[in-house]
Amino acid sequence: MPASSSASSSPASSSGAITDVAGIEVGHFSDTRRPTGCTVILAREGAVAGVDVRGAAPGTRETDLLSPGNLVQQVHGVMLAGGSAWGLAAAEGAMRWLEERNIGMDVRFGTLPIVPAAVLFDLPMGDARIRPDAAAGYAACEAATRDAPEEGNVGAGSGALVGKLFGVHRAMKGGIGTASVTVGGVTVGALIAVNALGDVIDPDTAQPVAGARTEDGSALLDTRRALLRGDLPKPLLAGTNTTLGVIATDAVLTKVQANRLASVAHDGLARAINPVHTMSDGDTLFALATGRVPLEGPGAESSPGMTVLGTMAAEAVARATLRAVLAARSVTVGELHVPCAADLAATKG
């Protein structure tokens, strides 16, 4: 039976969580019929939002309205989902859940929840006809809490893989991870679903942790070095990868600043994934500002400015990306066995 989840079996106590940001809730839906699912990030009281799409093969919904020059000022949730473009239907379930609770934008004739969304490609994992739909999105909302969200093979990270440049048979398990950073009374958190074409790198050591493996599958290949020495990647189907994420802060931001925060946060992906932002990735990051702590004016004397906030966002993204693969567990679907970072670490030990 399909399942939803909000409890944490891999608590983010050492690295924090996006739910450390006041006003943010997270819920997962994981479909046990095959590895796929969706994750909702809720801001019931509304949040100023921005987005930055860097990958060349994105699957998104309602991103144009986040442009600083456009009318809508706040969103009420963000949906991240597997299932490729079909998975965008999960946002409809989140809209229904929010509307039932009278959460949204007053448009005179009703309350309209604003829920941007982005999807990743997890169709190689089992029956591709099973993918997140409106019911899955609704279930994710039902599961949403302020608790630190579960990480690894859950929600949008259920069917995620990393290191597919030399074929899926040499890839490893991706997942979803979270982290937060607090400076000067302001918190920035990130939630990242990692389904990258490239390897995931430990940003502190610059060493690959999960990604493409050697032919015998016993060790990491190191995709960057393999490409630079001339190893030829396998032919790729466009858009079959993608890393998605949400950065949230309790700072007061404008839409211009929120979009800038989403842009700078991609530096965290660049530290933790190599190669990143490829022609076969749809890498997309959203930024949400719940507005609990001012960056300027009265009460903001000790608060960090945008430069520090951007540094915090990139750090949270890098840490969350690493946690996504460290929390992931191996899966077997049919004849495809996909090991996780812990498996290779045990072999090395």
- State residue 1's pLDDT score: 42
Write out the two tokens for 164: 């597919």
Find the helix or strand (DSSP H, E) in which 341 lies.
helix 341-348
> Which pLDDT belongs to residue 237?
66
- The residues, any chain, with a CB within 8 Å of residue 345's CB and separated by 6 or more, are none
Q: How far apart are CA 315 and CA 174, in angstroms?
A: 19
CA atoms of 125 and 123, how far apart (whole Å): 5
Task: State the residue for tokens 């860097």.
Answer: 54
Q: What is the pLDDT of residue 109?
A: 93
pTM (two decimals): 0.93
| Tokens describing residue 305 | 């400015």
* pLDDT at residue 55, as a whole number: 82
The CATH code of the domain that includes 65 is 3.60.70.12
pLDDT at 234: 80
Identify whether the C-beta of residue 196 lies closer than 8 Å to the C-beta of residue 244: no
In this structure, are residues 284 and 58 in contact, taking their beta carbons and an 8 Å threshold?
A: yes
Q: Which residues pair with 118 in a beta bridge?
A: 60, 80
Task: Give me the number of domains the chain comprises.
Answer: 1
Provide the domain limits for residue 229: 3-348
pLDDT tens, N- to C-terminus, the chain (349 residues): 456 544 334 544 468 999 999 999 999 999 989 999 999 999 999 999 999 999 888 999 999 999 999 999 999 999 999 999 999 999 999 999 999 999 999 998 999 999 999 999 999 999 999 999 999 999 999 999 999 999 999 999 999 999 999 988 999 999 999 999 999 899 999 999 999 999 999 999 999 999 999 999 999 999 999 999 999 888 776 667 899 999 999 999 999 999 999 999 999 999 999 999 988 888 999 999 999 887 666 655 556 889 999 999 999 999 999 999 999 999 999 888 999 999 988 776 5
Instruction: State the pLDDT at residue 279.
Output: 87
